[in-house]
Amino acid sequence: MLNNILKFPKPSPEFKLNINQPTAIYDIATHLRGIMHEAATADHDLVILCIGTDRSTGDSLGPLTGSKLRSFNPYPHIYGTLDDPVHASNLHDNIQSIQTKFDNPFIIAVDACLGRLESVGCVSLGRGPLKPGAAVKKELPSIGDAYVTGIVNVSGFMEHLVLQSTRLSLVMKMADTIAHAFSYGLRTYNR
């Protein structure tokens, strides 16, 4: 009902901003609301899939975001937390579980990624699937109808080591920002 009153912006192909911008949570939430609104009007079940492992600082963005979001918001369809991470070893099983449990899921995938030095600390949102494990040359299935990625460190050389030596402070700030944005976005999600 509230979605009929509020006008949400149509998400652009990709939206990217640094988490240190003062309006980062609001801006991300606004774009997430637009994506969620489209999912609701198309009669999809919204699923938030947070990918990563707690065994690597740089790759812990997904499970940290999932755990924080669970603590902020009672939304039930969140996969991937610190207690129950979704990672390379169980990604396929989790995808099958989601496809079995939901008739028409709309999946927003959350994951860490590596990028250029000037993009470290940025969050990107976009439509289409996410390719987890690409930075470390893993062959994993693409997943999602939309994605949220956090650029946690620089790519280009010894990616496994780079992920291991990523600053936890940055990953925690990014997880807080993304989880708060999802929480605000979910407040207006009616399905």
Q: Where are the domains of the chain?
A: 14-187
Cβ-contact 44, 106 below 8 angstroms: yes
pTM, 2 dp: 0.89
* pLDDT one-digit tens code per residue, 2-42: 343 444 444 456 899 999 999 999 999 999 999 998 888 88
Q: Which residues contact 98 (CB under 8 A, 6 or more apart)?
A: 47, 49, 79, 105, 107
* pLDDT one-digit tens code per residue, 112-168: 999 999 999 999 999 999 988 776 667 888 999 999 999 999 887 777 788 888 999
Compute the Cα dihedral for 69, 74, 76, 77 and give only its sign: negative
Categorize the per-residue pLDDT at 59 as very low, low, confident or very high, splitting at 50, 70 and 90. Answer: very high
Nearest CA to 57 out of 187, 190, 172, 189 is that of 172
SS3 per-residue string spanning 55-87: CCCHHHHHHHHHHHHHHHCCCCCEECCCCCCEC
Q: What's the confidence (pLDDT) of residue 129? A: 93
Query: Looking up tokens 């980062």, which residue turns up?
Result: 24
Instruction: Tell me what the mean pLDDT of segment 64-73 comes to.
Output: 93
Q: Which residues contact 179 (CB under 8 A, 6 or more apart)?
A: 65, 68, 69, 72
The better pLDDT of the pair 139, 96 is held by 96
Cβ-contact 70, 81 below 8 angstroms: yes
Q: What's the confidence (pLDDT) of residue 28? A: 95
Write out the CATH class of domain 14-187.
Answer: alpha beta
Instruction: Tell me what the mean pLDDT of segment 80-92 comes to.
Output: 95
**Lowest-confidence pick of 43-57, 60-74, 126-140:** 126-140
Q: Establish how many alpha carbons lie within 13 A of residue 135's alpha carbon, considering only the half-sphere containing its beta carbon.
A: 26
